[in-house]
Amino acid sequence: MEMGSTCRICGQQCCRKTKEFGKIALSEKDYVRIQLHIQGSFAKKVYSKNGWIYLMEIFEGKCVFLQEDGNCAINSFKPLDCKIYPLLFQYSGGEITFFVSSRCPFHHEVTSEFAEGAEREARDELEEWSEQNLKGYSEIVSPNG
């Protein structure tokens, strides 16, 4: 979603084929930020063994915010998950480790520049995620990565 020209070639498959690509997660912070701009339902709260997270709703297999022209309707305030994909993370024992999702057809083209930049951005924002959101993401989203 953020790999520039590579994503344009791909045609936003991760937004378009959300059902096959897995889950789009929102922390409490993401949810509240989006809610400031959007009325109506767009995500559901789901619980894992040790935490919880919101998952973006999908319609006809696509993210509800994907527009006909391929643009994201909430681009300037989309969730962290969308900003860093195809990077995912796992939280365990108080540590966060990042990895590239093999579901992205261009995962082998992820540059170290992109990965390092995305990781930096994520680490800053993840400091504000609750322990329950970190655990919910790690138990629900990243295992399907």
Taking the complex as a whole, how short is the minimal distance between the CB of residue 35 and ligand SF4, in angstroms? 14
> In the complex with ligand SF4, which residue's Cβ is closer, 80 or 126?
80
In contact, 105 and 8? CB cutoff 8 Å: no
Q: 98-129: buried (b, 16+ CB within 10 Å) or exposed (e) per residue?
A: bebbebbeeeeebeeebbeebbeebeebbeeb
Footprint of ligand SF4 (CB under 6 A)? 1, 3, 6-7, 10, 12-15, 24, 63, 65-66, 72, 74, 78, 82, 85-86, 104-106
Taking the complex as a whole, how short is the minimal distance between the CB of residue 100 and ligand SF4, in angstroms? 10
In order of 27, 56, 114, the CA distances from 33 in angstroms are 10, 14, 25
Taking the complex as a whole, how short is the minimal distance between the CB of residue 97 and ligand SF4, in angstroms? 19
> In the complex with ligand SF4, which residue's Cβ is closer, 95 or 113?
113
